[in-house]
Amino acid sequence: MWIADNWKEYEVIDTSDGEKLERWGEYILVRPDPQVIWNTPKKAEGWKKRNGHYHRSKKGGGEWEFFHLPKTWDIHYRELTFHLQPFQFKHTGLFPEQAVNWDWFGEKIKHADRQVKVLNLFAYTGGATLAAAAAGAQVTHVDASKGMVTWAKENAAASGLSSAPVRWLVDDCVKFVEREIRRGNHYDAIIMDPPSYGRGPKGEIWKMEENIHGFLQTCTHLLSNEPLFFLLNSYTTGLQPAVLSYLLNTEVVTRFGGKVMADEIGLPVKESGLVLPCGAAGRVEF
């Protein structure tokens, strides 16, 4: 498993009964996690001294309960700064486990000894974009949500990357890729963090299990003649590392060579010393 264990301002303190207890800077949050199917004693004092608690509804969705939590606050990872705020569907605007991927491709970009063009698809609030830009890459950031792209720009400014060569685009990822192919554009690296389910700006439906193979196949037409890496993330139940490995070997390695590595990604849990699984990732190194 690839473990995001270099955080200073974030940690999973404990897990029990379908929930995880987290420290985000100086604030403590309790959020549901479907992987936490065990019920162990809640000994950490944070369970009672939380600043925010997202309560899952049996009917679907849920709502936040706050205890002296500001509307927004910042958290840092290495030289990067992220604005956080609790919003619908339990999220805060950041997936800390992805830091293990940021560190991996950041080193590859720094040691490439050339200008690297990166395409970040389903780019959300820009964690991967900022990590790539900080390492020296030229990045194209694409997300269908105008609000998320605005948030990502704010994170870039807070991280001192306002003048970094990042192209910020609000667009449907599938249609953008198709247009880029027609334009004849290419990228040295592609990062894909697709949702399990989503809708495009005009109501286009995305289902990971049904659409990822064809879309991955299409994306390979954007790789340059000297690709550096390809990263595919999955939070979809059932798409295990072996599935990601098979997809990348079939659609990327057969055309460009390279080596596939795929594994779960996770976060260390302070109280138990174990690791909480947080999805999977497939990497191609060329």
Instruction: Record the tokens describing residue 279, joined without a space.
Output: 């999805």
Distance CA 78, CA 113 (A): 22
* CATH number of the 96-285 domain: 3.40.50.150
Residues 6+ apart with CB under 8 A from 237: 34, 196
Distance CA 237, CA 279 (A): 8
In this structure, the strands spanning 197-199 and 205-207 are antiparallel
Q: What is the pTM of this model?
A: 0.95
- Name the one residue in this structure whose structure tokens are 């870039």: 156
The reply to whether 2-71 and 96-285 are identical in fold is no
Beta strands in 171-286 (DSSP E): 189-192, 197-199, 205-207, 229-234, 259-268, 275-285
Distance CA 274, CA 142 (A): 35
The CATH superfamily label for domain 2-71 reads Golgi alpha-mannosidase II (2.60.40.1180)
- Name the one residue in this structure whose structure tokens are 């293990």: 100
Give residue 116's pLDDT: 98
Torsion of the alpha carbons at 47, 52, 58 and 59, rounded to the nearest 10: 180
Residues 6+ apart with CB under 8 A from 184: none
- Name the one residue in this structure whose structure tokens are 């900080």: 134
Give residue 209's pLDDT: 87
Give residue 6's pLDDT: 98
Distance CA 206, CA 209 (A): 9
Domain boundaries defined on the chain: 2-71, 96-285
Q: How many CA atoms lie within 13 A of 203 on its CB side?
A: 0
Distance CA 256, CA 31 (A): 41
Give residue 207's pLDDT: 86
Distance CA 143, CA 129 (A): 11
Give residue 200's pLDDT: 67
DSSP letter assigned to residue 57 = P
Residue type, 163: S
DSSP H helical ranges for the chain: 99-110, 127-134, 146-158, 173-183, 208-219, 241-248, 254-256
> Burial level of 118, CB count in 10 A (0-12/13-18/19+)?
buried
pLDDT string in tens for the chain (286-residue length):
999 999 999 999 999 999 999 999 999 999 999 999 999 999 999 999 999 999 988 887 899 999 999 999 999 999 999 999 998 789 999 999 999 999 999 999 999 999 999 999 999 999 999 999 999 999 999 999 999 999 999 999 999 999 999 999 999 999 999 999 999 999 999 999 998 887 766 777 888 888 999 999 999 999 999 999 999 999 988 789 999 999 999 999 999 999 999 999 999 999 999 999 999 999 999 9
